[in-house]
Amino acid sequence: MKDSLRTVLYPGTFDPVTNGHVDVVRRAVRLFDRVIVAVGSNTAKAPVFTVAERMAHLRLVCRDLPGVSVASFGGLLTDALHDFGAVAVIRGLRAVSDFEYEFQMALMNRELAAECETVFLMPSPGFSFVSSTMIREIGRLGGDIGAFVPPEICPQVRERFAGAGS
Ligand code: COA
């Protein structure tokens, strides 16, 4: 029998996960029965945190959110969508500047797999300027990342960058 529960896949690099990402997960939880937050690999990025670390961070910050699980995938997003039995991909749109890249990726994914639909969710405007790259830079240079990263993972993120900027 076909599973009537609707699963959605929220892929990203999450290096590290930010308050903006969590905001998107919370919105997805209200729309879908199951949300799989999946650490994928962007070949243009060299992450600071390992896949296992990023998954552990995500598990911590999503532990109280109903229907949310954490996974990783190594190949194409369209294959992961199929493997996880998801009906759509979630992507966050922070600002108009995200649109072109996201639009291109959504259309390419649909070209690769016709059933691959992308649902865009807008995080609260208060998170529109947050990015993992900026958080890593602030951390490396000894700034306070506390306002941008979920409190559960702040100690781990701070520890990783301790002394890095000197
Ligand atoms: N709050 C804060 N930041 C957010 C955000 C939000 N709500 N939504 C996105 N971002 C930021 C991320 O922090 C990240 O910032 P950074 O570039 O400074 O690190 C940036 O926006 C976008 O990164 P991310 O969401 O992690 O996606 P990505 O562009 O790195 O893509 C994959 C990651 C895994 C989805 C993508 O590479 C992929 O699909 N890989 C599989 C291979 C594949 O299928 N390729 C073909 C794709 S067409």
Closest residue by Cα to atom 2, ligand 1, is 20
Q: What is the pLDDT of residues 36-66, one digit of tens each?
A: 999 998 888 899 999 999 999 999 999 999 9
d(Cα 25, Cα 10) in Å, to the nearest integer? 8
Predicted pLDDT of residue 47 = 94
**Domain 2-164, CATH number (from 3.40.605.10, 3.90.190.20, 1.10.10.10, 3.40.50.620):** 3.40.50.620
Domain assignments of the chain as residue spans, ordered by start = 2-164
Q: Tell me how far the alpha carbon of residue 71 lies from the centroid of ligand 1, in angstroms.
A: 15
Closest residue by Cα to atom 45, ligand 1, is 76
Q: In 10 A of CB 79, how many CB atoms?
A: 13
pTM of the model: 0.94
Ligand 1: nearest atom to the Cα of 78:
44
> Do residues 65 and 29 make contact, with C-beta atoms less than 8 angstroms apart?
yes
Q: Which residues does the annotation mark as catalytic?
A: 21, 45, 94, 132
Query: 94 in ligand 1 pocket by Cβ < 6 Å?
Result: yes
Q: In 10 A of CB 161, how many CB atoms?
A: 19
Q: How far is CA 146 from CA 9, 68, 138, 141, in A?
A: 27, 24, 10, 14
DSSP for residue 16: T
